[in-house]
Amino acid sequence: MNATSPTSHSHIHGKGKRHCKKSGWTPIGVAAMVLGFVVAWPIGLAVLAYILWGGRVDDLISNAVDSIKGATRRAPVSSGNAAFDEYKAATLRDLEQRQAEFAEYVDQLRHARDREEFEHFMNSKKSKK
């Protein structure tokens, strides 16, 4: 099975490098549309038009939340002690590196587990024949 196969792992979970267009009809989108019609019909109509023109309400909400988070983030504040600030920056870099290594390790474990489950499935199919 190759990476472009419709049943490949990356296509099913959306983690591949290929960009596939997702449907605009999501539970959040439908709820937003219904709520829009309940509050005022022009809002519901606007949400419906947005979904029909290929937009996703989920992405719209996610982008709004990200921009709010970005606006509330503050630049690192200096403690006034240069040695402590250097230590703090080095420690944070080390923690970020460890976090990235751990995430990679967890991905490797998941991949190994998936491979083992698949091989078990294939062996059980062969033994039934």
Q: Do 85 and 68 fall into the same domain?
A: no
Mean per-residue pLDDT for 32-39?
A: 87
Is there a contact between 25 and 57 (Cβ–Cβ < 8 Å)? no
Kindly indicate the confidence band of residue 74, based on its pLDDT and cuts at 50, 70 and 90: low
Q: List C-alpha distances in Å: 124 to 32, 109, 116, 121, 129.
A: 46, 22, 12, 5, 9
Mean residue pLDDT across the chain: 79
Q: Do 58 and 35 fall into the same domain?
A: yes
Q: Do 88 and 129 fall into the same domain?
A: yes
Res 2 pLDDT > 60? no
Q: Do 129 and 89 fall into the same domain?
A: yes
Q: Do 30 and 65 fall into the same domain?
A: yes
8 in a structural domain: no
Q: For 85-127, what is each residue's pLDDT tens digit?
A: 999 999 999 999 999 999 999 999 999 999 999 999 999 988 8
Res 51 pLDDT > 90? no
Residue type, 95: L
**Helix 41-52, helix 57-72: angle, nearest 10:** 100
Q: Residue 30: its pLDDT value, please? A: 84
The percent helix, strand, coil of the chain (3-state, each to 5) is 70, 0, 30
Res 9 pLDDT > 70? no
Find the domain containing 124 and state its range.
81-129
Domain final position from 73, 90, 112: 73
Domain final position from 56, 73, 90: 73
